Chain A
Amino acid sequence: MVSFMTHVGANPGRSAHTLSIESATVMFQCRKALSKLIGQKDFLRTFFTMNATMAINTCLYGLLKEGDVVLTTSLEHNALMRPLRMLEKTRGITLRFIPSDFTCKLDTKAAKALAHGVKLIACVHGNNVTGALMPLDFFATLAREAGAYLLVDASQSAGLIDIDMQRDGIDMLCASAHKGLYAPMGLGFFSLSSRMDVLESFMQGGTGSRSEEEIQPELLPDKYESGTPNMPAIAGLLAALKWRESIGYEAMYAHEIRHRTQLKEALKALDSVVVCNVHEAYATTGVLSWYPKAQSISRVAQTLNNQYGILTRVGLHCSPATHKSIGTLSYGGTIRFSPSFFTTDEDIERVIWAMREIAQ
């Protein structure tokens, strides 16, 4: 990123001078590497956005029309839920929700009954509150049988879990780049299957192509990429994608899960807290939610921050639907630990020590 900003710093695709070509080449290489990672065979069908929210909005607003029916889950982040609710109000789409129990286990029998006649099945992959990984194979089968498109919000799982759009039957894959992909903030993406030529552009503007025309070009990737992209973040993502090649999914996932397991076991030994369990049939990401039985979550989170230097996410995590489903809405949400590949054993030991001390 520093190298890009120091030596390149030009707008890609707006000219053909040396630095503009260098900038465009960084974007081109990043698009190819990212597409390869997610099993997208045609890299021109992967598009950069400001974040996952913009990616999801682009897909929903580009696809849904009056009268369409969408099936989603009762565990969705507001990045998906809010645009769906807005489209329900403004375009008259109908929403159906797959119920979940308090362990994030979906009612698959109900899902099958609800899938009839839907245009789109939209779901999160890794739940951002509990870490529960939703069954993509079930959703793919459900979408295929219903003749529906499948949109997956992989913000919490991209880079951590092996996702292959073709193998997993995903039509629209949306994610942020700053979580499991370890790019800077301010970058997201979506990738489309070959069935998605029906998707209209959500934003229109300058693309550096078909400049004589006042209408948005249909050419990919320009159709969905108007305006200047976040090139420092794209350069960062490219560097991150190269870095992770020598590590791989298995090691990254094992690292997070080992720490999650250590945290979970330590918390379960404490009488003063409740750990949010995920159903045993579901794997998880590294995140772990819990709440104190007798204290406010914000006070405990503040103590962790101020006295121990341990930073947590506290509250509803932009996912009130999840908290409603798992029964933590009335507590104001949960405290979430979010270990990453860069979390060390010493970090985890320190958290466990702090938690035991607070519990005394």
Chain B
Amino acid sequence: MRGYFLLFTTSSALYAHELLGEIEAYNVSLVPTPREFSSDCGMAVYIEGEAMEMAMHCLDEHRIEYEFKSVS
């Protein structure tokens, strides 16, 4: 599975990238927020992995607001 975590501030994007990057199950990278998903001019976290539950739980636990957009 792969997709984008859309974060709403630069700080939360970096924070999410740092946290998710520590989970071995995922490959993550910081990318420009895709225009088709958001008009924010900042960054999103692109993620690849088996399932996203663990990633979402991690962000929820750290009270980071996000939207997840799955891509095929």
List A residues at the B interface (Cβ < 8 Å). Answer: 12-17, 21, 24-25, 27-28, 31, 44, 207-212, 217, 219-222
Contacts and interface: CB of A to CB of B under 8 A. Distances in A.
Most A C-beta atoms less than 10 A away, residue of B30, B32, B40, B41: B41
Interface residues of B, number: 18
Given A209-B8, A220-B9, A222-B9, A15 B15 contact: no
B11 to A, nearest CB: 6
Nearest to B42: A208
A15 B11 contact: no
Given A208-B10, A219-B8, A14 B15 contact: no
Interface in B3-35: 8-12, 14-15, 30-33
B43 A16 contact: yes
Contact of B8 (A14, A21, A28, A210): A210
22 contacts: A14-B41, A15-B42, A16-B30, A16-B33, A16-B42, A16-B43, A21-B43, A24-B10, A24-B14, A24-B43, A27-B11, A28-B14, A28-B15, A207-B9, A208-B9, A208-B40, A211-B41, A217-B8, A217-B9, A219-B8, A219-B65, A221-B11
B37 to A, nearest CB: 12
A209 B9 contact: yes
Interface of B: 8-12, 14-15, 30-33, 39-44, 65
Contacts of B30: 16, 21
Contacts of A27: 10-11
